[in-house]
Amino acid sequence: MTPLDLLCPVPFHEANPAQRARILSRLADSELFAALVEEPADDRVELQVFPLPDGPVALACDAEDRLADFIGGPVAYLGLPGRVLASALASEGRGLLVNPGHPSEMLLDTATLSWLVQALQAEPSLAPDEAPRSIRAPQPEVVRALAEPLSTRLGDMVGLVDSAALVATEWANGRQNHTLLLKGVEESRRPALAKAFAELLAFLPEIEGGADIGFSDSAHPAVALVLEPPAPIEPEPVPQRDPNAPPRLR
């Protein structure tokens, strides 16, 4: 099972709009292997295109062996991020068939790919520099909508962010919204991480008042929903042989 499969307990085309959007968000961040007509030559590639009643589509899978299994033998392919493939196909008016025969099978038409590309252009709404007038616990419906996707995104950022806190905020001008506070992010990485979370939010149900993204190294508010990325996996130490031990004979 791949990460895309795990997001598809029901087929993509039977999922509700919010779940389909989450799947497309993960697709954009996944490495896909697109079937080619032949091996690349002179930095030029030609995708295999299949004529379907609703228009031509390219073929891609999130694992090389899936591609070969569907084709029925060895196949030339190109590995690239889903977002790059979606942008290229949308600009050419083509669709995309993903993971045929697997739980995450989906047939995406040009309109869906264009929507995905547009969502990826979302820019972050940054929290104001001044402190909010009040901070409250996030609304339950917002927690239900954001907790799992935020946890998944944090799992992609091990070592880049220490934790995230979601709170409901009210500002001096009376504006009310939610704010996602990221802790332990290096200054140079903040624009990229803000953009990554803005993209994620663009694929999720709209939150009343919207959601700002902020950075703070202070302790998270007590009322916040705090999320942490999984601890990085430490490599197992290589056993050190006692230099005074007798040699091992074979």
134-227 under CATH 3.30.300, yes or no: yes
pLDDT category of residue 119 using cuts at 50, 70 and 90: very high
SS3 label, residue 139: coil
Task: Return d(Cα 180, Cα 189) in angstroms, integer.
Answer: 16
Question: Residue 231 phi/psi, 5° resolution?
Answer: -65, 140
What pLDDT, on a 0 to 100 scale, did the predictor assign at position 232? Answer: 60
pLDDT category of residue 234 using cuts at 50, 70 and 90: low
Q: Residue 33 contacts by C-beta under 8 Å, 6 or more apart in sequence?
A: 60, 61, 62, 63, 64, 67, 77, 78, 79
Q: In the chain, where does the domain assigned CATH 3.30.300 lie?
A: 134-227
Q: Which CATH superfamily is domain 3-119 in?
A: Uncharacterised protein PF11572, DUF3234 (3.40.1350.90)
CB 211 within 8 A of CB 125: yes
Q: Is 194 exposed, middle or buried (0-12, 13-18, 19+ CB in 10 A)?
A: buried
Q: In the chain, where does the domain assigned CATH 3.40.1350.90 lie?
A: 3-119
This model's pTM is above 0.85: no
